[in-house]
Chains A and B, each alone.
Chain A
């Protein structure tokens, strides 16, 4: 059996409105982030891979199974949607417990797993309160608990960090990382790019219903060759380094760091840049403390490829 989530030339149209178009993807286990502005097709992609909607064209499979094989397919998937809605009058406990009972479990099994999931998201104390009285963060957590309660192998999370306070956000991220390390598929869509960047094994960048880049975040950045890469060089005499680099006619932009102890340099050819930098160092012109890519993250790639910050605050 395949261990991948596969999309083969999948398109989805809502009447005449495009959801996604000709998407071909093969996602291995680990944490995958879907990044794109509103209306880019992230939720459509997630709804397709969780079987809530069917493709207009193309085929998809998750771990070798198709949504039509409901008994096995949905047992394998946990989906935390972005809809902040619950059945009326339900408690957190019942919300998770009822979903497990629909799996065909015994009351004991469902009860044990409910308790485990609610404890895992730190909602044990509030379990028997009505969800309507929960804060937004608690509602987000209880949806997450329901998504992970049956121990799925694929966990799909649509904007899972929305509404969480910094502590809860950090805990959730730690949980996602833990699940990813356990060999699980964790597919996350988020606008909080720094966090996506920190936890993702790979990103899928989307806009207008198309996948425009996919892969390891650093590989994706390397592929965006037409955009000069920005590098932060920490050194004692940054203005000297900048002038030397410009003399060699290599950089297209240099900007001093606000603290005066470094310079941001933009280069079209990063490999050649590092060779030159080594030469300057060996010549003894400046003493360099650190060299780090300054735009080798999801946010920068996102801006280069999509041309906006995706609503990031």
Chain B
């Protein structure tokens, strides 16, 4: 049994698929990575970075009450309330929803569909290209914001980052950013194949993400945010309306949360591959 299955898998043209995947990613990114049309996504990614930069320049001298601990909490707040809930969410919506639906609207998707590439390879190529673009934007935005926050503190900031908990916090932020890009990206890619305008569904999904923390444990498995919150390096004290935007779920190990987010992404991608296999061009109705 195992040998038959294993043999058929080995017989697949993996090398060809890899070459086609690489070509696909290059083509999509050469057309989309830096464009004026995508300027609003750059704004979403770098708006907080710019504000932190202005703040760092304007108040280069530390005032009374400026502590690393305070700024660490500020950064955690920016990351949780802005990046995770708004920036990455809407940024990936703009990037991934355009990959399929945008090409349908521009009537250029058929150039891909009639190439000798398996639909699954096409879909994965599009996903990886979107992931590369969103990672480049949001990882660099988060990284620069992090550096700017601690740079103000000079030697103390350097020590906090290199000898203290700073580096592991940075790693966690980058990991959560990557998992958010993958998870939301996969979901919005699927939305863009299922409906002409994925924006309303994305807003509903945003509501789902917001209330996921008060949902039963079983339902939380279908939320990206529910996994990511367990990977946050710094908890943010939240009150009032902001309490809904932060997580108060039972803690689970980081590796399990990471695995959960990746499995959710994988499951959505499998559904997308199935949808891609049966996707037909009907430009007249687009």
State the Cβ distance, B273 to closest chain A Cβ, in Å.
Answer: 13
Jot down 11 A-B pairs with beta carbons below 8 A, ordered by A.
A14-B282, A52-B110, A52-B113, A53-B282, A70-B119, A72-B116, A77-B114, A83-B283, A87-B106, A102-B27, A104-B23
Tell yes or no: B24 within 8 A of A by CB.
yes
Flag if A101 contacts B23 (CB, 8 Å): yes
Chain A residues whose CB sits within 8 angstroms of the CB of B110 once the complex forms? 52, 81, 83
Tell yes or no: A255 within 8 A of B by CB.
no
When each residue 104-119 of chain B gets 1 if its CB lies under 8 Å from chain A and 0 otherwise, what string results? 0011101111111111
The answer to whether residues A70 and B281 also contact, given A52-B110, A104-B20 and a CB cut-off of 8 A, is no
State the Cβ distance, B126 to closest chain A Cβ, in Å.
Answer: 12
Flag if A74 contacts B115 (CB, 8 Å): yes
Could you say which of A53, A79, A90 contacts B31, with CB atoms under 8 Å apart?
A90
Q: A88-B35, A88-B37, A104-B16 are in contact. List 6 more A-B contacts (CB 8 A).
A: A52-B110, A81-B110, A87-B31, A102-B116, A103-B20, A103-B116
State the Cβ distance, A2 to closest chain B Cβ, in Å.
Answer: 19
- Give the B-binding residues of A (Cβ under 8 A): 14, 47, 50-54, 70-75, 77, 79, 81, 83, 85-90, 94, 98-99, 101-104, 146
- Of chain B, the residue at the smallest CB distance from A81 is B110
Could you say which of A75, A83, A85, A98 contacts B116, with CB atoms under 8 Å apart?
A75
- Of chain B, the residue at the smallest CB distance from A107 is B23
Flag if A71 contacts B280 (CB, 8 Å): no
Flag if B111 contacts A103 (CB, 8 Å): no
Closest 6 CB pairs of A and B: A85-B107, A74-B116, A101-B23, A102-B115, A75-B116, A53-B280
State the Cβ distance, B208 to closest chain A Cβ, in Å.
Answer: 30
Tell yes or no: B103 within 8 A of A by CB.
yes
- Of chain B, the residue at the smallest CB distance from A102 is B115
Flag if A74 contacts B114 (CB, 8 Å): yes
State the Cβ distance, B122 to closest chain A Cβ, in Å.
Answer: 9
Could you say which of A14, A81, A86, A103 contacts B115, with CB atoms under 8 Å apart?
A103
- Of chain B, the residue at the smallest CB distance from A86 is B108
Flag if A102 contacts B23 (CB, 8 Å): yes
Chain A residues whose CB sits within 8 angstroms of the CB of B13 once the complex forms? 71
Chain B residues whose CB sits within 8 angstroms of the CB of A101 once the complex forms? 23, 26-27
Chain B residues whose CB sits within 8 angstroms of the CB of A83 once the complex forms? 107, 110, 283
Could you say which of A47, A90, A102 contacts B112, with CB atoms under 8 Å apart?
A102
Tell yes or no: B19 within 8 A of A by CB.
yes
When each residue 98-139 of chain B gets 1 if its CB lies under 8 Å from chain A and 0 otherwise, what string results? 000001001110111111111100000000000000000000
The answer to whether residues A102 and B106 also contact, given A52-B114, A53-B280, A70-B118 and a CB cut-off of 8 A, is no
